[in-house]
């Protein structure tokens, strides 16, 4: 059994705490104001005691000050699983910090294993469709109204997988008023409403047919499962990883 320190106690943090025993993970503490989870010790800030209590940390909190927040854990060489999104512009700085201290961090904007495999499908489908100019391509993502970033981190990652095969086109999130898309633009649309846990679509469209790839989360449990599985995978490693690294290792080990 490994001991995990939860940073953040929103919807994902609570679900991870609830599911942790199924994955042989003990929650050693929670860093969040006013958090309550059984007899688990809760901290208002990341104290030395909180850091010492864990084998690994799982961060599903906020993007604000993420480098400063994780620095004490990195210096203590505590592996970190990060599901917080919206801080990607600081990735270079965080990578350097992890490298300099020989620490370990795994980041994913979406810990659904289905989404990770879906990204591979998107990349391969884009490879197939890109040479055929009669097919246009577009993307759409939909989440609950409380989600803070738009487009989602998952949509950005999927767009990167797609755009690798469209080097002469550009991705846009916004449409100019009274003006359609430019011929080279690929539109990524974001929709926020209600309680949707997450839907991502890639659409290849021509005058004669439509091919549509969709991943639709039924609930958040899949995200928590992926994060807990990633925690076990990361525990003895050093370096900066993504969920794709874990997926690739698992696929390479599949029975022949």
- 147 part of the active site: yes
- Neighbour count for residue 75 (Cβ, 10 Å): 13
Three-state secondary-structure class, residue 152: coil
Q: Which entry of 11, 99, 101, 147 is annotated as an active-site residue?
A: 147
- 143 part of the active site: yes
Cβ neighbors of 180 (< 8 A, separation 6 or more) are none
Provide the residue count of the chain: 256
Sign of the alpha-carbon dihedral angle for 75, 248, 108, 43: negative
Instruction: Give residue for tokens 């390479």.
Output: 252
Sign of the alpha-carbon dihedral angle for 52, 53, 55, 57: negative
Q: Which entry of 78, 143, 165, 200 is annotated as an active-site residue?
A: 143
Distance CA 74, CA 72 (A): 5
b/e burial code for range 134-144 (CB count within 10 A of at least 16 → b)? ebbbbbbbbbe
- Answer for the pair 165, 151: CB distance below 8 angstroms, yes or no: no
Just list the catalytic residues.
Answer: 143, 147
């Amino acid at each position: 059994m490994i001991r995990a320190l939860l940073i953040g106690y929103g919807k994902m943090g609570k679900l991870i705490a609830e599911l942790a025993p199924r994955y042989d993970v003990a929650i050693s503490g929670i860093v969040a104001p006013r958090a309550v989870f059984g007899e688990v010790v809760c901290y208002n800030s990341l104290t030395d005691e909180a850091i010492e209590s864990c084998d690994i940390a799982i961060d599903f909190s906020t993007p604000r000050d993420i480098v400063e927040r994780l620095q004490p854990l990195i210096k203590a060489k505590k592996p970190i699983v990060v599901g917080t999104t919206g801080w990607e512009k600081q990735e270079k700085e965080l990578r350097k910090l992890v490298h300099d201290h020989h620490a370990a961090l795994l980041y994913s904007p979406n810990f659904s294993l289905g989404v990770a495999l879906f990204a591979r499908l998107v990349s391969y489908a884009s490879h197939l469709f890109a040479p055929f100019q009669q097919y246009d391509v577009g993307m759409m993502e939909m989440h609950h109204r409380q989600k803070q970033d738009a487009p989602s981190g998952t949509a950005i990652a999927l767009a990167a997988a797609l755009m690798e095969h469209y080097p002469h086109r550009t991705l846009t999130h916004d449409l100019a008023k009274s003006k359609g898309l430019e011929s080279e633009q690929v539109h990524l649309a974001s929709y926020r409403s209600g309680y949707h846990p997450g839907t991502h679509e890639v659409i290849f469209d021509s005058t004669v047919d439509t091919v549509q790839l969709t991943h639709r989360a039924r609930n958040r449990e899949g995200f928590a499962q992926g994060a807990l599985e990633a925690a076990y995978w990361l525990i003895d490693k050093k370096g900066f990883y993504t969920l794709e690294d874990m997926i690739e290792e698992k696929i390479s080990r599949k029975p022949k």
